[in-house]
Amino acid sequence: MAEKVMVSIRESTMVRPAEESTPWDSLWLSNSDLAFPPFHTSSVYFYRPSGEHNFFDKGVLKQALGKALVPFYPMAGRFKLNDQNGRVEIDCNAEGVVFVVAESSSAVDDFGDFAPTPDFLTLIPTTDYSGGISSYPILVLQITYFKCGGVSLGVGMEHRVADGVSGLHFVNTWSDIARGDLSNIKPPFMDRTLLRLLRARDPPQPAFPHIKYQPSPQMKPSDNMKSTSNITTSVDAQKWFGTFEANLVMRCDG
């Protein structure tokens, strides 16, 4: 890529779930989710022009996004700190996700073999973390239209909310809704029961036998100590015999 990619933002809106009846609750995060500082996992998808008149129509995409956020309602929430246990949770308050529409004078072919470069950062909305965990959106999206007719979709998804498989599940659901194909829509699995059962207890309460929590074994009676010591000494002595020592003992015995 010879020239720096120039991107102009044309529109930036907050898209909320299309239905107001999405659950307003909190989702518990596991310890592994909280092991790293906040950051958005970024990915960029490129699409060459298809020739259709409604190719990547921003109105269709925005409407479909609102519908996709109904089953994926945690994406439209924010993080919050639980006052009782001090843990970070997802507050499903339907504040929405960032949806940016941009244009670029570059072409899709200008990205060559699509090796990651700093230019890719212009295709994904930036996130400001300075305002605290409740200030920034969990999901940010950007549609960039290139002069060649191609389009890129930039996705920034908070890593504590979804992994790669879950993130792609959301993108595919959004795509299916935009195309009008509702036959393959599958809601995400958000049951936190297992995570709560596996969480560490404070204080620890082991519910199964474990050698670490068993009492120390009883000492053997004193009248057996001598014979046990002799056996141990004999066994230990044999352990140190190599081939040379063993042959020497056999010759002496013979």
- The per-residue pLDDT for range 89-134, each reduced to its tens digit, is 999 999 999 999 999 999 999 888 888 888 899 999 999 999 999 9
Residue 224 pLDDT exceeds 90: no
Dist CA 110 CA 128 (whole Å): 29
> At residue 140, does pLDDT exceed 80?
yes
Domain 7-198, second-level architecture: 2-Layer Sandwich (3.30)
Token pair 């909190």 is found at 26
Q: Which residues belong to CATH 3.30.559.10 in the chain?
A: 7-198
- Non-local CB neighbours of 139 within 8 Å, separated by 6+ positions: 75, 76, 97, 98, 155, 156, 157, 158, 161
Percentage of the chain beyond pLDDT 90 is 48
Give phi and psi for 157, each to the nearest 5.
Answer: -125, 125
Average pLDDT over residues 247-251: 53
The pTM of the full predicted model, rounded to 2 decimals, is: 0.74
Checking if the pLDDT of 195 tops 70, the result is: no
Compute the average pLDDT of residues 65-93. Answer: 93
Inter-axis angle of helices 58-68 and 164-179, to 10 degrees?
Answer: 120
Instruction: Give the model's confidence band at 231: pLDDT under 50 very low, under 70 low, under 90 confident, else very high.
Output: very low
Q: Is the pLDDT of residue 252 over 80?
A: no
Residues making up the chain, counted from first to last: 254
Say what the pLDDT of residue 238 is.
47
Four-point Cα dihedral 17, 76, 196, 39, nearest 10: 160
- Residue with the bigger pLDDT between 118 and 59: it is 59
The predicted-structure confidence for 165-177, as pLDDT tens digits, reads as follows: 999 999 999 999 9
Residue-level pLDDT at 118:
87
Region 128-154 average pLDDT: 95
